[in-house]
Structure formats: C-alpha cells, structure tokens
C-alpha cells in the first residue's frame, strides 16, 4: 500500500522501539519486539484508526499537537522530533515557544517511580505526561482541562481539598508563575491565547494579572479527597528540569503513616473502582 515519508518513519520507529523502552510491560506472549499500533495510539492519545491512516498515507496534515504527542510517545530525541515535524510539513517549534520535549532521561526517571504519583508539565502548566498512579490519585484530564492554571480558575472539579485561603494562594501563585513564563516566551501564540482566555473568563485572574506579581510556583502540602481510599495528605514538590523549563510534580507520603498506607493501596487499586 502506498504511504508517505511520514508514514514510513512512524512505522519504522514503532517497529524498532521495544515496549520496555517506553515503559510498557513485556509479556511472554509478545511476538513483536516493537510497539503495537494500539499501544502507540494510547500513549499518544490519538485513535488507532487515525494512526493507521497516518502510517498508510491516507491521512495528511496532522496538527502540531498530534506530532508533538507522537514524538513524546515514541521518546524521540530532539533531532528526531524536529525531523518528524518536517516530515509532517510543519516547522519545528522555535526558540520563542514553550518547550514541550521530554528527554529520554526524564522518561526513564518516571519509569523508575512507578510507586510515586508523578506528572510532567511545561512552563505554561500544560500536563504533558502523567504516570498511572498520578492519574489514579488526581483523576484523568482531557482537552483544555489538561492545563492546570485553566483548571484552577475555571473548573469546579478537583480532588484537592482547599480552604478559601489556600485556593486563593494557589491561584495567586499560578498567575504569578504564568506571568514569569510570559516574560520568558513572549512569542508563544498558545500562551498568549491561554492568558487572554483566562483574563476574559475569570475576573479574579484578570485582577491578579493586572497586579503584576512575578514568581515561581513551589512546593506545598495538599490533602486529596480520593473517592475510594479517602483523604490523603501528601507533600507536593515541583522539580525543574534544567534547560527545558519542564516541571516535574511529585507527590510523596511520610513513611509509616496512614497516608503512606493509603497511597500504597491506591497503587494496587489503580484507576479501577473497587467492586462492591
């Protein structure tokens, strides 16, 4: 079947990347060494049918978001990612845009933290990647809700327990952090759109934005009301990745506490609701 250079490259990478290299378990019944289409599509957050059409050349002009997601799922290097963008007929993101590339080293670090809730955000607080335990702890987000700042100001749904004071402090920290990011990436169109939308839809964000503070969101202690394991009070640390402005959010519990036991139970339950 006829294909395109993009389709050929995607198929090549998919066939030559072992499942364990992208953090997937390897069972004894696995025949292929590479990734199955349904595995790559799930990692990238696109439909398997769309991936098939891309590989076969029946789909053209994928969006930058799709190309970025595929590069992240395939754990491509910076140069390979740029090549994938060019094959898709797109210009690789330039130096004036917020980096969203997750290095193979950061991927491997997350692979080793399977018993710890971890997620990776870019400098605008778009969630790029979350391990299963993070999703089990805080829920699964889609679309616009993947942006933590937008969710904090516009969405009423959160498992994090807040007082009016703690909610206000978090919102002020997010607004100040976003202002810092805007100063670093003034040419990022998606960032400008995010800020404009927040100012238009949230009078509180608009007031915070006009007040002009600039700072970086730091560590905190949070209580999460989980629907199946109850309240968990955890330390939330935000680690910065040098040279990329990525933020790695890590939740941990003090050893020997009820919270540590609850987190261990959640690791067993995963995202599945208990029966009964």
Model confidence band, residue 96 (pLDDT cutoffs 50, 70, 90): confident
Per the model's pLDDT, the better-predicted residue between 213 and 67 turns out to be 67
Give me the CATH number covering residue 207. Answer: 3.30.450.180
Model confidence band, residue 273 (pLDDT cutoffs 50, 70, 90): very low
Residue 49 shares a structural domain with residue 120 = no
pLDDT score recorded for residue 104? 82
| Percent of the chain residues topping a pLDDT of 90 | 59
Interval 194-218 mean pLDDT: 89
Residue 109 shares a structural domain with residue 238 = yes
Q: Is residue 203 part of a domain?
A: yes
Q: Is residue 17 part of a domain?
A: yes
* Residue 154: Cβ-neighbour burial (10 angstroms; 0-12, 13-18, 19+): middle
In terms of Cα–Cα distance, which of 113, 114, 197 is closest to 150? 197
pLDDT at 116 over 50: yes
pLDDT at 248 over 50: yes
Task: Tell me how far apart the alpha carbons of residues 14 and 37 are, in angstroms, rounded to a whole number.
Answer: 8
Containing domain of residue 55, as a range?
5-87
Residue 133 shares a structural domain with residue 264 = yes
Residue 118 shares a structural domain with residue 253 = yes
In terms of Cα–Cα distance, which of 52, 48, 42 is closest to 3? 52
Residue 132 shares a structural domain with residue 212 = yes
pLDDT at 214 over 80: no
Query: Looking at the DSSP assignment, which residues form a beta bridge with residue 126?
Result: 147
Q: Is residue 99 part of a domain?
A: no
Residue 215 shares a structural domain with residue 254 = yes
Residue 35 shares a structural domain with residue 150 = no
Interval 71-77 mean pLDDT: 91
Model confidence band, residue 153 (pLDDT cutoffs 50, 70, 90): very high
Residue 256 shares a structural domain with residue 161 = yes
Residue 81 shares a structural domain with residue 150 = no
Interval 187-216 mean pLDDT: 91
Task: Round the average pLDDT of the chain to a whole number and report it.
Answer: 88
pLDDT score recorded for residue 274? 45
Q: Is residue 233 part of a domain?
A: yes
Q: Is residue 77 part of a domain?
A: yes
Residue 58 shares a structural domain with residue 131 = no
Per the model's pLDDT, the better-predicted residue between 105 and 38 turns out to be 38
Q: Is residue 95 part of a domain?
A: no
Q: Is residue 20 part of a domain?
A: yes
Asked which of 59, 87, 115 is the last residue of a domain, the reply is: 87
Q: pLDDT tens digits, residue range 119-138?
A: 999 999 999 999 999 999 99
Residue 155 shares a structural domain with residue 36 = no
Residue 78 shares a structural domain with residue 186 = no
pLDDT score recorded for residue 30? 61
Query: Looking at the DSSP assignment, which residues form a beta bridge with residue 160?
Result: 224
Rounded alpha-carbon distances, angstroms, from residue 193 to 107, 144, 190, 200, 246: 29, 12, 5, 10, 20
pLDDT score recorded for residue 84? 94
Task: Tell me how far apart the alpha carbons of residues 106 and 131 are, in angstroms, rounded to a whole number.
Answer: 12
Q: Is residue 276 part of a domain?
A: no
Q: Into how many domains does the chain fold?
A: 2
Q: pLDDT tens digits, residue range 10-46?
A: 999 999 888 877 777 666 566 667 898 998 998 888 9
pLDDT score recorded for residue 87? 94
């Amino acid at each position: 079947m006829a294909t395109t250079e993009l389709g050929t490259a995607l198929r090549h990478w998919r066939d030559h990347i072992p499942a364990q290299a992208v953090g997937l378990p390897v069972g004894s019944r696995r025949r292929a060494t590479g990734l199955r289409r349904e595995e790559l599509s799930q990692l990238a957050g696109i439909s398997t049918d769309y991936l098939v059409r891309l590989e076969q050349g029946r789909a053209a002009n994928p969006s930058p978001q799709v190309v970025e997601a595929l590069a992240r799922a395939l754990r491509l290097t910076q140069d390979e990612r740029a090549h994938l963008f060019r094959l898709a007929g797109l210009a690789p993101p330039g130096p004036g845009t917020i980096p969203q590339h997750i290095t193979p080293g950061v991927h491997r670090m997350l692979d080793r933290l399977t018993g710890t809730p971890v997620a990776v955000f870019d400098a605008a607080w778009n969630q790029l990647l979350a391990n299963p335990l993070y999703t089990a702890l805080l829920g699964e987000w889609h679309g616009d809700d993947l942006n933590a700042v937008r969710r904090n100001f516009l969405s009423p749904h959160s498992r994090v327990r807040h007082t009016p004071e703690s909610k206000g402090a978090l919102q002020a920290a997010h607004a100040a952090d976003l202002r810092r990011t805007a100063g670093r990436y003034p040419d990022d169109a998606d960032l400008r759109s995010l800020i404009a939308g927040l100012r238009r839809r949230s009078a509180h964000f608009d007031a915070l934005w006009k007040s002009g503070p600039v700072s970086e969101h730091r560590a905190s202690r949070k209580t999460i009301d989980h629907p199946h394991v109850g309240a968990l009070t955890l330390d939330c640390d935000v680690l910065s990745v040098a040279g990329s402005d990525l933020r790695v959010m890590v939740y941990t519990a003090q050893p020997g506490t009820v919270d540590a036991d609850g987190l261990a139970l959640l690791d067993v339950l995963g995202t599945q609701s208990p029966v009964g």
